């Protein structure tokens, strides 16, 4: 792995006595999509603002593209694009005029401006409404215009705060595709969200925030192993004269087999055991009707994690 | 800790954008029409009066600003009253408008410091006011030339141009105040109400309260009262308290420039009248010396209010 583009060490933010971000440490590698997950108020946006030098750091250290955003925010902001939560534009200006203003603020040379602006608008499929006032735009179009701004900037890191909240499903899918497009161009993407299935769909790694701390971090599969225990659940639907449970249990890697109904089996395994399971059914002369593997869903991980935490807190209370 | 990069980066684009917003806004158009219509009416009445009364006056053009003809309202009074309104209209939503439109974090994530945003907004407001005032000045001088048929002398032009600069300082004070309020109050409605409240208080109510306060602080001496004369110490206090209002400062400075026979603002001492030929005009340099304290106070007001806004803005959180 190359040197991280974002590196936080014990990053802390306090407002008076309240600690909003409490000593978090994480690295983001170049070219990955990193998800910041967690309930509202868990410190995701504050962390983002500290990365951009838009709010002061109370403790710890953060480096973005090898710059210190506290001391040299301009160098960071020149190379990082930010799409805020519920991004706003000047409603009385057209989409193109809005971007032209930020293009000048970015310091894009005058001769490149028009081309980069129209390219960016075409990228997010807003070219045909470029001369319409932003007041007439839907939420999805505004988000896409915000993304166009990042594209126009030629940002190396794109920080997107809740980019898909409030979008309809179609707009969400389109937006996620555009995010993946950024990744293909080598842009590092930092995505904050509380919409778990979307994060799971696009993110390489996620960090789960709670109460200002990162409580879990890693790929979705890693989190699943940590939280849900053994990895995969394989479901088999098959008819057979002989008992399949024993045969399934004999497959190496299978930890347990549960039978539900007459012909359904749930296998919990360390790895994907579908080929072996199929072979076992065929060997028993059975009729295999369905064979599926449950991907560990971030939703399940999330729910289980907070459930476990709640029960352990309850346990602690009972003991006390 | 020193930050790196120029605080002025992005000042130009912010200035140009804000200026074009102001000039094309309906709000500004309405105010400009209001001021121009009122000013034309007042000047017309004044011209009528001047034609009938003044036989020969070396400063006939300046009379246009200070006399109201048959009505008690002169252009000076009208300007003193309406310029704050214009400045407040330009500044009251300068910063909170960006917060409420959710554009603030997007703009500040561009490679600029907050300094550039605030300074650009202030300078654009000031430039708008300067343009409006210059138009008004040309209009008045033009009307004077057409209807009075007297070409303006060099000193008259010089005096009225200095008056224009002082008017701009007066407008700048109110603009800086309006911008400060737009930083302090998140709601534009609150900011505009507080600004209008201060405007009414300082221009209408405060002058009425001053005599009472002055005689409270420094009770009139019975020896003076016996002869029906004002006590010098009380009058001095009155003058000082009056000067809290930018309106009074503006009037004082303007009168000493526009009425060249003005020998002092506030209390006139015997020493100032020694050897004076009553009603004879002072040279421009002397009039400037008389107006200087008031002018400096107005400029200081601009700086103090702007710096106060700057300090609050730098410490403000970007998030709504």
Check CB contact under 8 Å for B111 and A78: yes
Cα(A296)–Cα(A222) distance, rounded to whole angstroms? 10
* A11 beta partners: A24
Cα(B176)–Cα(B92) distance, rounded to whole angstroms? 10
CA distances from B35 to B25, B32, B127, B277 (A): 16, 5, 17, 37
CA distances from A86 to A117, B198, B313 (A): 22, 35, 22
Check CB contact under 8 Å for B107 and A102: yes
- Find the closest chain B residue to A99 by CA distance: B107
From chain A, the residues in CB contact with B4 under 8 A are: 71-72, 74-75
From B21, B101, B111, residue closest to A88, measured CB to CB: B101
Per-domain boundaries in chain B: 11-315
Q: Give this complex's ipTM.
A: 0.86
pLDDT tens digits, chain B, 320 residues: what are they? 678 888 889 999 999 999 999 999 998 899 889 888 988 888 888 888 887 776 567 788 888 888 876 777 888 988 998 899 999 999 999 999 999 999 999 999 999 999 999 999 999 999 999 999 999 999 888 888 888 887 888 888 999 999 999 999 999 999 999 999 999 999 999 999 999 999 999 988 999 999 898 888 888 888 888 888 888 888 888 888 988 899 999 998 998 888 887 777 766 666 666 666 666 788 888 888 889 999 999 999 999 999 999 999 999 988 75
From A54, A87, A101, residue closest to B13, measured CB to CB: A101
Q: b/e map of A37-69 (b: 16 or more CB within 10 Å)?
A: bbeeebbbbbbbbbbbbbbebeebebbbbebbb
From chain B, the residues in CB contact with A147 under 8 A are: none
- Find the closest chain A residue to B317 by CA distance: A55
Q: CATH fold of A232-294, please?
A: Alpha-Beta Plaits (3.30.70)
Check CB contact under 8 Å for A84 and B109: yes
Cα(B57)–Cα(B68) distance, rounded to whole angstroms? 16
Please give the structure tokens belonging to residue A84: 């805020």
Check CB contact under 8 Å for A77 and B2: no
Check CB contact under 8 Å for B102 and A105: no
Q: What predicted TM-score, i.e. pTM, was given to this entire model?
A: 0.88
DSSP string, chain A: ----SEEEEEEEEEETTEEEEEEEEEEE-TT-EEEEE-STTSSHHHHHHHHTTSS---EEEEEETTB-TTT-HHHHHHHEEEE-TT----TTSBHHHHHHHHHHHHT--HHHHHHHHHHHHHHTT-GGGTTSBGGG--HHHHHHHHHHHHHHHT-SEEEEESTTTT--HHHHHHHHHHHHHHHHTT-EEEEEES-HHHHHHH-SEEEEEETTEEEEEE-HHHHHHHHHSS-EEEEEEEE-SS-HHHHHHHSTTEEEEEEETTTEEEEEESS--HHHHHHHHHHTT-EEEEEEEEPPPHHHHHHHHHHHHHHHHHHHHHH-
Handedness of CA B44, B46, B49, B53 (dihedral sign): negative
Q: CATH fold of A6-218, please?
A: Rossmann fold (3.40.50)
Per-domain boundaries in chain A: 6-218, 232-294
Dihedral angle computed from the Cα positions of residues A273, A276, A280 and A286, in that order, rounded to the nearest 10 degrees: 80
């Amino acid at each position: 792995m190359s040197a991280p583009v974002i590196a936080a060490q014990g990053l802390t933010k306090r407002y008076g006595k309240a600690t909003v971000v409490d000593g978090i440490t994480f690295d983001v590698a170049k070219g990955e999509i990193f998800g910041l997950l967690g309930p509202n108020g868990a410190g995701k946006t504050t962390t983002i603002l500290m990365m951009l030098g838009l709010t002061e750091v109370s403790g710890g250290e953060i480096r973005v593209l090898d710059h210190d955003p506290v001391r040299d925010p301009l160098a960071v902001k020149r190379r990082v694009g930010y799409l805020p939560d519920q991004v706003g534009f000047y409603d009385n200006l057209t989409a193109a005029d809005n971007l032209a203003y930020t293009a000048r603020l970015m310091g894009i040379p005058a001769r490149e401006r028009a081309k980069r602006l129209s390219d960016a608008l075409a990228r997010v499929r807003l070219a045909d409404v470029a001369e319409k006032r932003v007041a007439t735009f839907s939420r999805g179009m505004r988000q896409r215009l915000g993304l166009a701004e990042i594209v126009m900037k030629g940002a190396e890191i794109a920080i997107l705060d809740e980019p898909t909240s409030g979008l309809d499903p179609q707009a969400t899918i389109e937006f996620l595709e555009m995010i993946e497009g950024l990744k293909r161009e080598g842009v590092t993407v930092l995505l904050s969200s509380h919409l778990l299935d979307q994060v799971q769909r696009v993110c390489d790694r996620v960090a789960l925030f709670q109460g200002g701390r990162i409580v879990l971090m890693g790929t979705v599969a890693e989190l699943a192993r940590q939280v849900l225990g053994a990895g995969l659940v394989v479901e088999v639907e098959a008819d057979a004269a002989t008992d399949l449970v024993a045969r399934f249990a004999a497959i190496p890697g299978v930890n347990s087999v549960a039978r539900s109904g007459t012909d359904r089996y749930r296998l919990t395994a360390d790895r994907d055991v579908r080929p072996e399971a199929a072979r076992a059914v065929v060997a028993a002369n059975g009729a295999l009707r369905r064979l599926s593997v449950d991907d560990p869903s971030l939703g399940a991980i999330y729910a289980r994690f907070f459930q476990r935490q709640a029960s352990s807190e309850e346990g602690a209370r009972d003991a006390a | 800790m020193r930050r790196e990069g120029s605080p002025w980066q992005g000042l130009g684009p912010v200035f140009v954008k804000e200026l074009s917003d102001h000039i094309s806004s309906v709000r500004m158009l309405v105010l400009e029409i209001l001021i121009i219509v009122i000013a034309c009416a007042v000047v017309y009445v004044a011209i009528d009066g001047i034609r009938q009364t003044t036989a020969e006056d070396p400063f006939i053009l300046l009379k246009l600003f200070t006399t109201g003809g048959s009505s008690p309202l002169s252009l000076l009074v009208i300007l003193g009253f309406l310029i704050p309104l214009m400045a407040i209209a330009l500044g009251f939503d300068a910063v909170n408008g960006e917060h409420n439109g959710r554009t603030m974090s997007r703009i500040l994530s561009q490679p600029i410091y907050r300094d550039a945003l605030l300074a650009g907004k202030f300078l654009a407001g000031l430039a708008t006011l300067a343009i409006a005032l210059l138009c008004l000045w040309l209009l008045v001088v033009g009307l004077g030339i057409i209807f009075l048929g007297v070409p303006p002398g060099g000193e008259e032009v010089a005096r009225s141009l200095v008056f224009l600069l002082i008017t701009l300082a007066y407008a700048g004070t109110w603009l800086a105040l309006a911008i400060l309020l737009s930083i302090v109050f998140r709601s534009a409605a609150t900011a505009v109400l507080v600004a209008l409240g201060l405007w009414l208080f300082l221009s209408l109510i405060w002058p009425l309260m001053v005599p009472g306060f002055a005689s409270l602080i420094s009770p009139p001496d019975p020896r003076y009262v016996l002869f029906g004369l004002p006590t010098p110490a009380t009058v001095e206090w009155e003058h000082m308290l009056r000067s809290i209002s930018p309106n009074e400062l503006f009037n004082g400075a303007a009168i000493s420039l526009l009425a060249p026979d003005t020998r002092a603002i506030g209390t006139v001492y015997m020493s100032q009248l020694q050897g004076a030929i009553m009603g004879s005009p002072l040279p421009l340099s002397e009039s400037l010396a008389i107006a200087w304290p008031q002018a400096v106070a107005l400029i200081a007001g601009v700086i103090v209010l702007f710096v106060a806004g700057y300090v609050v803005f730098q410490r403000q959180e970007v998030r709504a």
